[in-house]
Chains A and B, each alone.
Chain A
Amino acid sequence: MFPELNNLLNTTPEGAEQGKLTLLCDAKTDGSFLVHHFLSFYLKANCKVCFVALVQSFSHYNMVGQKLGVSLTTARERGQLVVLEGLKSAVDIFFRPQEEPHPLQFLREANAGDLQPLYAFVRDALEPVDCGEAAWRCPVLLVDDLSVLLSLGVGPVAVLDFVHYCRATVCREWKGNVVALVHDSGDAEDEESDVLLNGLSHQSHLILRAEGLATGFCKDVHGQLRILWRRPLQPTTPRDRSLTYQYKIQDKSVSFFAKGMSPAVL
Protein backbone atom coordinates (compact mmCIF):
# COMPACT_ATOMS: atom_id res chain seq x y z
CA MET A 1 0.00 0.00 0.00
CA PHE A 2 1.44 3.34 -1.00
CA PRO A 3 0.26 6.11 1.30
CA GLU A 4 0.80 8.75 -1.37
CA LEU A 5 -1.49 6.92 -3.77
CA ASN A 6 -4.12 6.71 -1.04
CA ASN A 7 -3.93 10.48 -0.71
CA LEU A 8 -4.36 10.96 -4.41
CA LEU A 9 -7.36 8.65 -4.46
CA ASN A 10 -8.66 10.25 -1.27
CA THR A 11 -9.15 6.94 0.44
CA THR A 12 -7.91 4.99 3.46
CA PRO A 13 -8.13 1.30 4.36
CA GLU A 14 -10.63 2.16 7.05
CA GLY A 15 -12.84 4.26 4.83
CA ALA A 16 -12.62 2.45 1.52
CA GLU A 17 -15.64 2.75 -0.72
CA GLN A 18 -17.62 -0.35 -1.59
CA GLY A 19 -19.39 -1.64 -4.65
CA LYS A 20 -16.80 -0.34 -7.10
CA LEU A 21 -15.05 -1.67 -10.16
CA THR A 22 -11.55 -0.24 -10.45
CA LEU A 23 -9.75 -0.70 -13.73
CA LEU A 24 -5.96 -0.66 -13.76
CA CYS A 25 -4.45 -0.13 -17.14
CA ASP A 26 -0.89 0.19 -18.34
CA ALA A 27 0.49 1.38 -21.63
CA LYS A 28 4.17 1.12 -22.55
CA THR A 29 5.11 0.46 -18.95
CA ASP A 30 4.58 -2.06 -16.18
CA GLY A 31 1.53 -1.32 -14.08
CA SER A 32 1.93 -4.22 -11.68
CA PHE A 33 2.90 -1.85 -8.84
CA LEU A 34 -0.78 -0.88 -8.79
CA VAL A 35 -1.75 -4.52 -8.28
CA HIS A 36 0.61 -4.80 -5.32
CA HIS A 37 -0.80 -1.58 -3.92
CA PHE A 38 -4.42 -2.75 -4.00
CA LEU A 39 -3.56 -6.21 -2.72
CA SER A 40 -1.88 -4.86 0.38
CA PHE A 41 -4.47 -2.08 0.70
CA TYR A 42 -7.43 -4.45 0.90
CA LEU A 43 -5.62 -6.93 3.14
CA LYS A 44 -4.88 -4.11 5.54
CA ALA A 45 -8.51 -3.01 5.27
CA ASN A 46 -9.51 -6.40 6.66
CA CYS A 47 -11.38 -7.44 3.54
CA LYS A 48 -11.75 -10.97 2.25
CA VAL A 49 -9.67 -11.06 -0.92
CA CYS A 50 -9.84 -13.47 -3.83
CA PHE A 51 -6.71 -13.01 -5.92
CA VAL A 52 -6.68 -14.48 -9.42
CA ALA A 53 -2.94 -14.37 -10.03
CA LEU A 54 -2.22 -15.42 -13.58
CA VAL A 55 1.08 -13.69 -14.22
CA GLN A 56 3.50 -14.33 -11.36
CA SER A 57 4.03 -16.98 -8.76
CA PHE A 58 2.63 -16.71 -5.27
CA SER A 59 6.08 -16.28 -3.78
CA HIS A 60 6.71 -13.23 -5.95
CA TYR A 61 3.59 -11.48 -4.71
CA ASN A 62 4.41 -12.54 -1.17
CA MET A 63 7.88 -11.07 -1.40
CA VAL A 64 6.61 -7.74 -2.66
CA GLY A 65 3.79 -7.83 -0.14
CA GLN A 66 6.27 -8.17 2.70
CA LYS A 67 8.03 -5.03 1.56
CA LEU A 68 4.67 -3.30 1.76
CA GLY A 69 3.90 -4.67 5.19
CA VAL A 70 1.54 -7.59 4.58
CA SER A 71 2.21 -11.30 4.69
CA LEU A 72 0.26 -13.17 2.07
CA THR A 73 1.12 -16.53 3.64
CA THR A 74 -0.39 -15.50 6.94
CA ALA A 75 -3.45 -14.05 5.27
CA ARG A 76 -3.94 -17.25 3.31
CA GLU A 77 -3.58 -19.40 6.38
CA ARG A 78 -6.20 -17.56 8.36
CA GLY A 79 -8.64 -17.59 5.48
CA GLN A 80 -8.54 -13.93 4.54
CA LEU A 81 -6.89 -14.54 1.20
CA VAL A 82 -7.78 -17.07 -1.48
CA VAL A 83 -5.29 -17.28 -4.33
CA LEU A 84 -5.68 -18.91 -7.71
CA GLU A 85 -2.09 -19.38 -8.79
CA GLY A 86 -2.50 -19.47 -12.55
CA LEU A 87 0.99 -20.64 -13.39
CA LYS A 88 0.65 -23.72 -11.19
CA SER A 89 -3.01 -24.48 -11.90
CA ALA A 90 -2.57 -24.32 -15.62
CA VAL A 91 -0.21 -27.28 -15.47
CA ASP A 92 -2.34 -29.19 -12.94
CA ILE A 93 -5.32 -29.11 -15.21
CA PHE A 94 -3.71 -31.49 -17.67
CA PHE A 95 -2.65 -34.04 -15.10
CA ARG A 96 -5.77 -34.53 -13.05
CA PRO A 97 -8.92 -36.39 -13.92
CA GLN A 98 -11.79 -34.40 -15.30
CA GLU A 99 -14.15 -34.82 -12.37
CA GLU A 100 -15.02 -31.38 -11.28
CA PRO A 101 -14.69 -28.26 -13.38
CA HIS A 102 -11.46 -26.41 -12.88
CA PRO A 103 -11.41 -22.61 -12.86
CA LEU A 104 -9.15 -22.62 -15.90
CA GLN A 105 -11.26 -25.25 -17.66
CA PHE A 106 -11.15 -23.29 -20.90
CA LEU A 107 -7.54 -24.40 -21.42
CA ARG A 108 -8.72 -27.92 -22.08
CA GLU A 109 -11.36 -27.02 -24.59
CA ALA A 110 -10.76 -26.70 -28.29
CA ASN A 111 -12.88 -23.57 -28.56
CA ALA A 112 -12.21 -21.54 -25.45
CA GLY A 113 -15.78 -21.01 -24.41
CA ASP A 114 -16.80 -18.91 -21.50
CA LEU A 115 -15.28 -18.28 -18.11
CA GLN A 116 -18.16 -19.65 -16.07
CA PRO A 117 -15.93 -22.06 -14.09
CA LEU A 118 -13.64 -19.17 -13.18
CA TYR A 119 -16.64 -17.13 -12.08
CA ALA A 120 -17.86 -20.11 -10.03
CA PHE A 121 -14.46 -20.27 -8.32
CA VAL A 122 -14.63 -16.56 -7.45
CA ARG A 123 -18.19 -16.87 -6.22
CA ASP A 124 -17.39 -19.82 -3.98
CA ALA A 125 -14.30 -18.08 -2.62
CA LEU A 126 -16.00 -14.83 -1.71
CA GLU A 127 -19.52 -15.89 -0.80
CA PRO A 128 -20.33 -14.40 2.59
CA VAL A 129 -20.64 -17.17 5.11
CA ASP A 130 -22.72 -16.67 8.24
CA CYS A 131 -20.75 -18.66 10.74
CA GLY A 132 -20.78 -16.38 13.73
CA GLU A 133 -17.14 -15.34 13.56
CA ALA A 134 -16.00 -11.78 13.06
CA ALA A 135 -16.87 -11.21 9.47
CA TRP A 136 -14.43 -9.68 7.04
CA ARG A 137 -15.21 -6.20 5.94
CA CYS A 138 -16.29 -6.78 2.35
CA PRO A 139 -15.30 -9.17 -0.43
CA VAL A 140 -12.72 -8.04 -2.95
CA LEU A 141 -11.72 -9.65 -6.23
CA LEU A 142 -8.32 -8.80 -7.66
CA VAL A 143 -7.25 -10.04 -11.10
CA ASP A 144 -3.69 -9.89 -12.47
CA ASP A 145 -4.31 -9.69 -15.29
CA LEU A 146 -7.16 -9.95 -17.78
CA SER A 147 -5.05 -9.54 -20.92
CA VAL A 148 -3.47 -12.91 -20.21
CA LEU A 149 -6.87 -14.50 -20.78
CA LEU A 150 -6.96 -12.96 -24.25
CA SER A 151 -3.54 -14.44 -24.95
CA LEU A 152 -4.80 -17.85 -23.81
CA GLY A 153 -7.51 -17.81 -26.44
CA VAL A 154 -10.53 -16.48 -24.57
CA GLY A 155 -12.55 -13.99 -26.61
CA PRO A 156 -12.94 -10.40 -25.37
CA VAL A 157 -16.72 -10.80 -25.02
CA ALA A 158 -16.21 -13.83 -22.78
CA VAL A 159 -13.82 -11.84 -20.56
CA LEU A 160 -16.30 -8.95 -20.46
CA ASP A 161 -19.05 -11.40 -19.46
CA PHE A 162 -16.85 -12.74 -16.66
CA VAL A 163 -16.22 -9.22 -15.34
CA HIS A 164 -19.95 -8.45 -15.76
CA TYR A 165 -20.89 -11.38 -13.56
CA CYS A 166 -18.23 -10.49 -10.99
CA ARG A 167 -19.57 -6.96 -10.93
CA ALA A 168 -23.16 -8.15 -10.56
CA THR A 169 -22.30 -10.53 -7.73
CA VAL A 170 -19.33 -9.06 -5.90
CA CYS A 171 -20.04 -5.35 -6.38
CA ARG A 172 -23.79 -5.15 -6.53
CA GLU A 173 -25.02 -8.08 -4.46
CA TRP A 174 -22.28 -8.33 -1.85
CA LYS A 175 -21.22 -4.66 -1.86
CA GLY A 176 -17.62 -5.59 -2.48
CA ASN A 177 -15.00 -4.33 -4.92
CA VAL A 178 -13.38 -5.64 -8.06
CA VAL A 179 -9.94 -4.53 -9.22
CA ALA A 180 -8.52 -5.78 -12.52
CA LEU A 181 -5.42 -5.04 -14.56
CA VAL A 182 -5.53 -4.81 -18.34
CA HIS A 183 -2.73 -3.99 -20.76
CA ASP A 184 -3.15 -1.43 -23.48
CA SER A 185 -1.00 -2.76 -26.23
CA GLY A 186 -1.21 0.47 -28.17
CA ASP A 187 -1.32 -1.62 -31.28
CA ALA A 188 -4.03 -0.30 -33.56
CA GLU A 189 -4.47 -3.74 -35.08
CA ASP A 190 -5.15 -5.51 -31.82
CA GLU A 191 -8.92 -5.19 -31.95
CA GLU A 192 -9.60 -7.72 -29.21
CA SER A 193 -7.47 -5.84 -26.72
CA ASP A 194 -9.19 -2.57 -27.67
CA VAL A 195 -12.67 -4.06 -27.28
CA LEU A 196 -11.73 -5.45 -23.88
CA LEU A 197 -10.17 -2.21 -22.66
CA ASN A 198 -12.99 0.02 -23.92
CA GLY A 199 -15.69 -2.35 -22.71
CA LEU A 200 -14.15 -2.44 -19.24
CA SER A 201 -13.71 1.33 -19.21
CA HIS A 202 -17.42 1.77 -19.77
CA GLN A 203 -18.18 -0.51 -16.83
CA SER A 204 -15.65 1.00 -14.40
CA HIS A 205 -16.10 3.53 -11.63
CA LEU A 206 -12.42 4.39 -11.38
CA ILE A 207 -9.70 4.03 -13.98
CA LEU A 208 -5.99 4.24 -13.12
CA ARG A 209 -3.84 4.37 -16.20
CA ALA A 210 -0.07 4.08 -15.90
CA GLU A 211 1.72 5.29 -19.00
CA GLY A 212 5.34 5.40 -19.92
CA LEU A 213 6.68 8.86 -20.66
CA ALA A 214 6.28 9.91 -24.26
CA THR A 215 9.93 10.90 -24.36
CA GLY A 216 11.17 7.48 -23.34
CA PHE A 217 12.86 5.94 -20.33
CA CYS A 218 13.96 8.20 -17.51
CA LYS A 219 15.84 7.31 -14.36
CA ASP A 220 13.98 9.68 -12.08
CA VAL A 221 10.49 9.59 -13.50
CA HIS A 222 9.25 6.13 -14.29
CA GLY A 223 5.94 7.09 -15.76
CA GLN A 224 2.74 8.99 -15.54
CA LEU A 225 -0.45 8.00 -13.75
CA ARG A 226 -3.82 9.22 -14.98
CA ILE A 227 -6.72 8.86 -12.58
CA LEU A 228 -10.22 9.06 -14.05
CA TRP A 229 -13.32 8.96 -11.86
CA ARG A 230 -16.32 7.78 -13.88
CA ARG A 231 -19.89 7.25 -12.85
CA PRO A 232 -20.04 9.20 -9.64
CA LEU A 233 -22.91 8.03 -7.54
CA GLN A 234 -24.04 11.50 -6.55
CA PRO A 235 -25.28 13.50 -9.52
CA THR A 236 -24.02 16.72 -7.96
CA THR A 237 -20.34 15.77 -8.14
CA PRO A 238 -18.65 16.87 -11.35
CA ARG A 239 -18.74 14.23 -14.01
CA ASP A 240 -15.58 12.43 -14.94
CA ARG A 241 -12.95 14.11 -12.86
CA SER A 242 -9.44 13.41 -14.07
CA LEU A 243 -5.98 13.95 -12.56
CA THR A 244 -2.52 13.27 -13.86
CA TYR A 245 0.63 12.69 -11.81
CA GLN A 246 4.11 11.42 -12.50
CA TYR A 247 5.70 8.79 -10.33
CA LYS A 248 8.93 7.08 -9.40
CA ILE A 249 9.01 3.54 -8.05
CA GLN A 250 11.41 2.97 -5.20
CA ASP A 251 12.26 -0.13 -3.24
CA LYS A 252 9.39 -0.01 -0.78
CA SER A 253 7.25 2.83 -1.95
CA VAL A 254 6.18 4.90 -4.90
CA SER A 255 6.42 8.65 -4.84
CA PHE A 256 4.03 10.81 -6.81
CA PHE A 257 4.44 14.39 -7.91
CA ALA A 258 2.83 16.84 -10.23
CA LYS A 259 3.98 16.84 -13.83
CA GLY A 260 7.39 18.35 -14.20
CA MET A 261 7.93 18.63 -10.46
CA SER A 262 10.17 15.62 -9.90
CA PRO A 263 12.66 16.27 -7.09
CA ALA A 264 15.44 15.38 -9.47
CA VAL A 265 14.44 18.20 -11.76
CA LEU A 266 13.75 20.96 -9.27
Chain B
Amino acid sequence: RHLSPRLTPSEGLARPPPPPTDNCPNGSFRPSHDSVEWEGRSLLKALVKKSALCGEQVHVLGCEVSEEEFREGFDSSINNRLVYHDLFRDPLSWSKPGKALPGGPLEALRALDKRTGSGPATIALDSLSWLLHHLPCPILCQTLHALSRQDSCPGDTLPGEQVRVLGLLHEELHGPGPLGALSSLAQTEVTLSGTMGQASAHILYRRPRQRPTLQTQWFSILPDFSLELQVEPLLESQPPSDLHTPSVDPTTHLTFNLHLSKKEREAKDSLTLPFQFSSEKQQALLRPGLGQATSHIFYEPDAYDDLDQEDPDDDLDV
Protein backbone atom coordinates (compact mmCIF):
# COMPACT_ATOMS: atom_id res chain seq x y z
CA ARG B 1 0.00 0.00 0.00
CA HIS B 2 1.51 3.22 -1.07
CA LEU B 3 1.00 6.34 0.97
CA SER B 4 1.05 9.25 -1.38
CA PRO B 5 2.41 12.40 0.17
CA ARG B 6 -0.40 14.85 0.45
CA LEU B 7 1.47 17.87 1.59
CA THR B 8 0.44 20.22 -1.17
CA PRO B 9 1.27 23.91 -0.93
CA SER B 10 -2.31 24.73 -0.13
CA GLU B 11 -2.40 22.33 2.78
CA GLY B 12 0.93 23.10 4.32
CA LEU B 13 1.27 26.40 6.05
CA ALA B 14 -1.57 27.90 4.08
CA ARG B 15 -4.27 26.15 6.05
CA PRO B 16 -5.03 27.73 9.41
CA PRO B 17 -5.02 25.31 12.32
CA PRO B 18 -6.93 22.97 12.88
CA PRO B 19 -8.71 20.87 11.14
CA PRO B 20 -6.67 17.72 11.53
CA THR B 21 -5.77 16.40 8.11
CA ASP B 22 -3.46 13.66 7.09
CA ASN B 23 -1.25 16.26 5.51
CA CYS B 24 2.16 14.88 6.08
CA PRO B 25 4.02 12.16 4.21
CA ASN B 26 5.16 9.21 6.23
CA GLY B 27 8.23 10.41 8.05
CA SER B 28 9.33 13.85 7.13
CA PHE B 29 12.03 16.16 8.26
CA ARG B 30 11.52 19.91 8.16
CA PRO B 31 14.24 22.30 9.20
CA SER B 32 13.46 25.97 9.68
CA HIS B 33 16.32 28.33 8.99
CA ASP B 34 16.39 31.49 11.04
CA SER B 35 18.81 34.34 11.61
CA VAL B 36 19.53 36.79 14.43
CA GLU B 37 17.20 39.35 12.89
CA TRP B 38 14.32 36.98 12.18
CA GLU B 39 14.17 34.43 14.94
CA GLY B 40 12.55 31.09 14.36
CA ARG B 41 11.64 29.76 17.78
CA SER B 42 8.21 31.37 17.68
CA LEU B 43 7.44 29.61 14.40
CA LEU B 44 8.68 26.33 15.85
CA LYS B 45 6.39 26.80 18.83
CA ALA B 46 3.49 27.65 16.51
CA LEU B 47 4.05 24.43 14.55
CA VAL B 48 4.34 22.48 17.80
CA LYS B 49 1.03 23.97 18.91
CA LYS B 50 -0.57 23.01 15.62
CA SER B 51 0.60 19.40 15.98
CA ALA B 52 -0.58 19.22 19.57
CA LEU B 53 -4.00 20.56 18.59
CA CYS B 54 -4.21 17.81 15.96
CA GLY B 55 -4.01 15.32 18.78
CA GLU B 56 -0.43 14.27 18.26
CA GLN B 57 2.11 13.77 20.95
CA VAL B 58 4.97 16.21 20.71
CA HIS B 59 8.48 15.48 21.92
CA VAL B 60 10.80 18.45 22.22
CA LEU B 61 14.53 18.00 22.55
CA GLY B 62 15.38 21.31 24.17
CA CYS B 63 19.01 22.38 24.05
CA GLU B 64 18.88 26.16 23.92
CA VAL B 65 16.12 27.27 26.22
CA SER B 66 14.84 25.98 29.50
CA GLU B 67 11.64 24.00 29.79
CA GLU B 68 9.80 26.88 31.47
CA GLU B 69 10.73 29.23 28.69
CA PHE B 70 9.66 26.82 25.97
CA ARG B 71 6.34 26.05 27.60
CA GLU B 72 5.61 29.74 28.14
CA GLY B 73 2.63 30.91 26.13
CA PHE B 74 1.08 27.46 25.73
CA ASP B 75 -2.11 26.63 27.54
CA SER B 76 -2.49 23.47 29.56
CA SER B 77 -4.07 21.40 26.78
CA ILE B 78 -0.95 21.84 24.69
CA ASN B 79 1.45 21.48 27.59
CA ASN B 80 -0.11 18.15 28.49
CA ARG B 81 0.73 16.77 25.06
CA LEU B 82 4.25 18.16 25.13
CA VAL B 83 7.11 16.09 26.51
CA TYR B 84 10.24 18.16 27.06
CA HIS B 85 13.55 16.33 27.02
CA ASP B 86 15.84 18.71 28.84
CA LEU B 87 19.28 19.08 27.32
CA PHE B 88 19.47 22.69 28.50
CA ARG B 89 20.34 22.36 32.15
CA ASP B 90 23.33 20.09 31.96
CA PRO B 91 24.05 18.85 28.44
CA LEU B 92 27.73 18.07 28.96
CA SER B 93 27.56 16.66 32.49
CA TRP B 94 29.45 19.50 34.09
CA SER B 95 27.29 19.69 37.18
CA LYS B 96 28.37 17.81 40.25
CA PRO B 97 25.12 16.16 41.14
CA GLY B 98 24.51 15.11 37.57
CA LYS B 99 21.33 16.52 36.12
CA ALA B 100 22.26 15.40 32.65
CA LEU B 101 20.28 13.05 30.47
CA PRO B 102 22.16 9.75 30.43
CA GLY B 103 24.45 9.19 27.49
CA GLY B 104 24.73 12.77 26.46
CA PRO B 105 23.16 14.47 23.46
CA LEU B 106 23.50 11.58 21.00
CA GLU B 107 21.78 9.06 23.21
CA ALA B 108 19.07 11.57 24.05
CA LEU B 109 18.44 12.05 20.33
CA ARG B 110 18.38 8.32 19.63
CA ALA B 111 16.10 7.71 22.58
CA LEU B 112 13.43 9.83 20.92
CA ASP B 113 13.08 7.14 18.29
CA LYS B 114 11.98 4.61 20.86
CA ARG B 115 9.62 6.96 22.61
CA THR B 116 7.49 7.70 19.61
CA GLY B 117 6.36 4.16 19.02
CA SER B 118 2.64 4.57 19.28
CA GLY B 119 0.48 7.01 17.40
CA PRO B 120 1.40 9.91 15.17
CA ALA B 121 4.01 12.09 16.74
CA THR B 122 6.02 15.20 16.14
CA ILE B 123 9.59 15.63 17.27
CA ALA B 124 10.85 19.19 17.58
CA LEU B 125 14.62 19.75 17.78
CA ASP B 126 15.53 23.04 19.42
CA SER B 127 17.98 23.39 18.03
CA LEU B 128 19.69 21.59 15.19
CA SER B 129 22.50 24.14 15.43
CA TRP B 130 23.33 23.04 18.95
CA LEU B 131 23.31 19.39 17.88
CA LEU B 132 25.46 20.18 14.86
CA HIS B 133 28.02 21.90 17.10
CA HIS B 134 28.25 18.96 19.46
CA LEU B 135 27.87 15.94 17.22
CA PRO B 136 29.75 15.04 14.07
CA CYS B 137 27.66 15.95 11.04
CA PRO B 138 27.51 12.43 9.51
CA ILE B 139 26.31 10.89 12.77
CA LEU B 140 23.69 13.59 13.19
CA CYS B 141 22.44 13.08 9.65
CA GLN B 142 22.25 9.32 10.09
CA THR B 143 20.37 9.68 13.35
CA LEU B 144 17.93 12.17 11.84
CA HIS B 145 17.38 9.88 8.88
CA ALA B 146 16.57 6.99 11.19
CA LEU B 147 14.40 9.22 13.35
CA SER B 148 12.22 10.36 10.53
CA ARG B 149 11.90 6.79 9.30
CA GLN B 150 12.69 7.75 5.78
CA ASP B 151 14.32 4.45 5.04
CA SER B 152 11.26 2.40 5.81
CA CYS B 153 8.92 1.46 2.99
CA PRO B 154 5.59 3.27 3.00
CA GLY B 155 3.83 -0.07 3.13
CA ASP B 156 5.52 -1.22 6.31
CA THR B 157 4.34 1.46 8.66
CA LEU B 158 0.74 2.26 9.36
CA PRO B 159 -0.58 5.78 8.94
CA GLY B 160 -0.89 5.98 12.68
CA GLU B 161 2.83 5.73 13.15
CA GLN B 162 3.86 8.77 11.21
CA VAL B 163 6.67 10.76 12.68
CA ARG B 164 7.24 14.35 11.74
CA VAL B 165 10.57 15.89 12.66
CA LEU B 166 10.86 19.67 12.94
CA GLY B 167 14.23 21.25 13.41
CA LEU B 168 15.35 24.81 14.13
CA LEU B 169 18.61 25.80 12.48
CA HIS B 170 20.50 29.09 12.87
CA GLU B 171 21.83 29.60 9.40
CA GLU B 172 24.72 31.94 10.20
CA LEU B 173 26.43 29.48 12.50
CA HIS B 174 27.29 26.84 9.94
CA GLY B 175 29.22 26.48 6.76
CA PRO B 176 27.75 25.41 3.44
CA GLY B 177 28.74 21.74 3.93
CA PRO B 178 26.64 20.91 6.99
CA LEU B 179 23.80 23.12 5.74
CA GLY B 180 23.77 21.28 2.44
CA ALA B 181 23.83 17.89 4.16
CA LEU B 182 20.84 18.76 6.33
CA SER B 183 18.99 20.27 3.38
CA SER B 184 19.35 17.08 1.41
CA LEU B 185 17.62 15.17 4.19
CA ALA B 186 14.66 17.49 4.33
CA GLN B 187 11.29 17.26 2.63
CA THR B 188 10.49 20.85 3.43
CA GLU B 189 12.82 23.68 4.17
CA VAL B 190 11.57 26.98 5.57
CA THR B 191 13.83 30.02 5.55
CA LEU B 192 12.71 33.05 7.54
CA SER B 193 13.23 36.62 6.56
CA GLY B 194 11.09 39.66 6.19
CA THR B 195 10.81 43.31 5.32
CA MET B 196 9.45 46.32 7.13
CA GLY B 197 8.66 44.43 10.29
CA GLN B 198 6.67 41.74 8.50
CA ALA B 199 8.00 38.20 8.64
CA SER B 200 8.02 35.93 5.64
CA ALA B 201 8.81 32.28 5.11
CA HIS B 202 10.40 30.94 1.94
CA ILE B 203 9.27 27.34 1.73
CA LEU B 204 11.04 24.83 -0.44
CA TYR B 205 9.17 21.57 -0.97
CA ARG B 206 11.07 18.53 -2.12
CA ARG B 207 8.86 15.65 -3.07
CA PRO B 208 10.14 12.35 -4.39
CA ARG B 209 10.13 12.15 -8.20
CA GLN B 210 8.90 15.73 -8.48
CA ARG B 211 10.59 19.00 -9.08
CA PRO B 212 11.22 21.11 -5.95
CA THR B 213 8.81 23.98 -5.59
CA LEU B 214 9.41 27.28 -3.88
CA GLN B 215 6.70 29.34 -2.24
CA THR B 216 6.80 32.51 -0.19
CA GLN B 217 4.30 33.04 2.59
CA TRP B 218 3.93 36.12 4.76
CA PHE B 219 2.85 35.41 8.29
CA SER B 220 2.77 36.59 11.84
CA ILE B 221 2.71 34.75 15.14
CA LEU B 222 0.02 35.79 17.59
CA PRO B 223 0.75 36.00 21.35
CA ASP B 224 -0.78 32.57 21.92
CA PHE B 225 1.49 31.12 19.22
CA SER B 226 -1.22 30.72 16.64
CA LEU B 227 -0.02 31.12 13.10
CA GLU B 228 -1.68 33.84 11.07
CA LEU B 229 -1.07 33.94 7.35
CA GLN B 230 -1.02 37.25 5.58
CA VAL B 231 -1.07 38.81 2.18
CA GLU B 232 2.10 40.32 0.88
CA PRO B 233 2.44 43.84 2.25
CA LEU B 234 2.25 46.66 -0.27
CA LEU B 235 5.48 48.46 -0.81
CA GLU B 236 5.00 51.82 0.85
CA SER B 237 8.11 53.38 -0.52
CA GLN B 238 6.65 54.38 -3.92
CA PRO B 239 5.82 58.10 -3.84
CA PRO B 240 2.31 58.98 -5.01
CA SER B 241 2.36 60.53 -8.49
CA ASP B 242 0.68 63.90 -8.61
CA LEU B 243 -0.79 64.74 -12.00
CA HIS B 244 -1.79 68.25 -11.11
CA THR B 245 1.50 69.85 -10.28
CA PRO B 246 2.48 72.11 -13.17
CA SER B 247 5.86 71.26 -14.51
CA VAL B 248 8.32 74.01 -13.89
CA ASP B 249 10.43 75.17 -16.80
CA PRO B 250 14.00 74.92 -15.62
CA THR B 251 15.30 77.28 -18.29
CA THR B 252 13.67 80.35 -16.78
CA HIS B 253 15.52 82.56 -14.33
CA LEU B 254 18.96 81.69 -15.58
CA THR B 255 21.92 84.04 -15.48
CA PHE B 256 23.07 82.92 -18.91
CA ASN B 257 21.26 82.77 -22.22
CA LEU B 258 20.14 79.41 -23.50
CA HIS B 259 18.05 80.70 -26.38
CA LEU B 260 19.06 82.06 -29.78
CA SER B 261 17.38 84.94 -31.52
CA LYS B 262 16.61 84.68 -35.26
CA LYS B 263 19.61 86.75 -36.32
CA GLU B 264 21.90 84.74 -34.12
CA ARG B 265 20.54 81.53 -35.56
CA GLU B 266 21.15 82.72 -39.11
CA ALA B 267 24.67 83.76 -38.28
CA LYS B 268 25.31 80.40 -36.69
CA ASP B 269 23.99 78.46 -39.65
CA SER B 270 26.05 80.38 -42.16
CA LEU B 271 29.31 79.94 -40.34
CA THR B 272 31.82 77.69 -41.98
CA LEU B 273 33.54 75.37 -39.63
CA PRO B 274 37.32 75.57 -39.75
CA PHE B 275 37.88 71.92 -40.64
CA GLN B 276 35.04 71.53 -43.08
CA PHE B 277 36.53 71.27 -46.56
CA SER B 278 34.31 73.14 -48.95
CA SER B 279 35.06 74.32 -52.51
CA GLU B 280 35.70 77.90 -51.39
CA LYS B 281 38.26 76.69 -48.96
CA GLN B 282 39.95 74.63 -51.64
CA GLN B 283 40.21 77.67 -53.92
CA ALA B 284 41.54 79.81 -51.11
CA LEU B 285 44.26 77.31 -50.39
CA LEU B 286 45.27 76.79 -53.99
CA ARG B 287 45.56 80.43 -54.73
CA PRO B 288 46.94 82.44 -51.92
CA GLY B 289 45.41 85.85 -52.43
CA LEU B 290 46.67 89.27 -51.53
CA GLY B 291 47.04 89.80 -47.90
CA GLN B 292 47.70 86.19 -47.26
CA ALA B 293 51.37 85.91 -46.55
CA THR B 294 53.05 82.66 -47.28
CA SER B 295 54.48 81.17 -44.16
CA HIS B 296 58.16 81.05 -43.57
CA ILE B 297 59.99 78.80 -41.24
CA PHE B 298 63.09 80.22 -39.62
CA TYR B 299 65.45 77.65 -38.21
CA GLU B 300 68.79 78.16 -36.51
CA PRO B 301 70.67 74.88 -36.37
CA ASP B 302 72.61 74.00 -33.25
CA ALA B 303 76.24 73.02 -33.20
CA TYR B 304 75.21 69.41 -32.74
CA ASP B 305 72.65 69.29 -35.46
CA ASP B 306 73.31 66.99 -38.30
CA LEU B 307 71.62 68.49 -41.32
CA ASP B 308 71.34 65.93 -43.99
CA GLN B 309 70.08 67.37 -47.25
CA GLU B 310 69.33 64.01 -48.72
CA ASP B 311 65.77 63.00 -49.05
CA PRO B 312 65.29 59.89 -46.92
CA ASP B 313 62.54 58.70 -49.23
CA ASP B 314 64.74 58.66 -52.30
CA ASP B 315 65.10 54.96 -52.39
CA LEU B 316 61.37 54.36 -52.31
CA ASP B 317 60.07 53.02 -55.51
CA VAL B 318 56.80 54.95 -55.54
Point out residues on A near B: beta carbons under 8 Å: 114, 116, 119-120, 157, 160-161, 164-165, 168, 172, 191, 194-195, 198-199, 201-203, 230-231, 233, 235-236, 239-240
Contacts and interface: CB of A to CB of B under 8 A. Distances in A.
A168 B92 contact: no
Q: Is the interface of B mostly helix, strand, loop or mixed?
A: loop
A235 B172 contact: no
A161 B88 contact: no
Interface string B73-116: 10000000000000011111010000000000000000000000
Interface of B: 36-37, 39, 42, 64, 66, 68-69, 72-73, 88-92, 94, 129, 133-134, 170, 172-173, 175, 222-225
Contacts, number: 57
A203 B134 contact: no
Contacts of A199: 129, 170, 173
A203 B223 contact: no
A194 B94 contact: no
B64 A168 contact: no
Given A114-B92, A157-B134, A202-B129, 15 more contacts: A119-B94, A161-B92, A164-B64, A164-B91, A168-B89, A191-B175, A198-B170, A198-B173, A199-B173, A203-B64, A230-B39, A235-B224, A235-B225, A239-B42, A240-B39
Given A119-B94, A168-B89, A235-B224, A160 B133 contact: yes
A116 B91 CA distance: 12
A13 B141 CA distance: 48
B297 to A, nearest CB: 59
Contacts of A120: 94
B162 to A, nearest CB: 30
A157 B94 contact: no
Most buried by A among B92, B129, B170, B173: B173
Contact of A235 (B39, B73, B94): B73
Nearest to B170: A202
B88 A168 contact: yes
A240 B66 contact: no
B73 to A, nearest CB: 6
A164 B92 CA distance: 11
B66 A168 contact: yes
Contacts of A231: 39
A116 B130 CA distance: 18
Given A198-B173, A203-B64, A157 B133 contact: yes
B108 to A, nearest CB: 16
B172 A198 contact: yes
Contacts of A172: 66, 68-69, 88-89
B64 A198 contact: no
B90 A168 contact: yes
Nearest to A204: B36
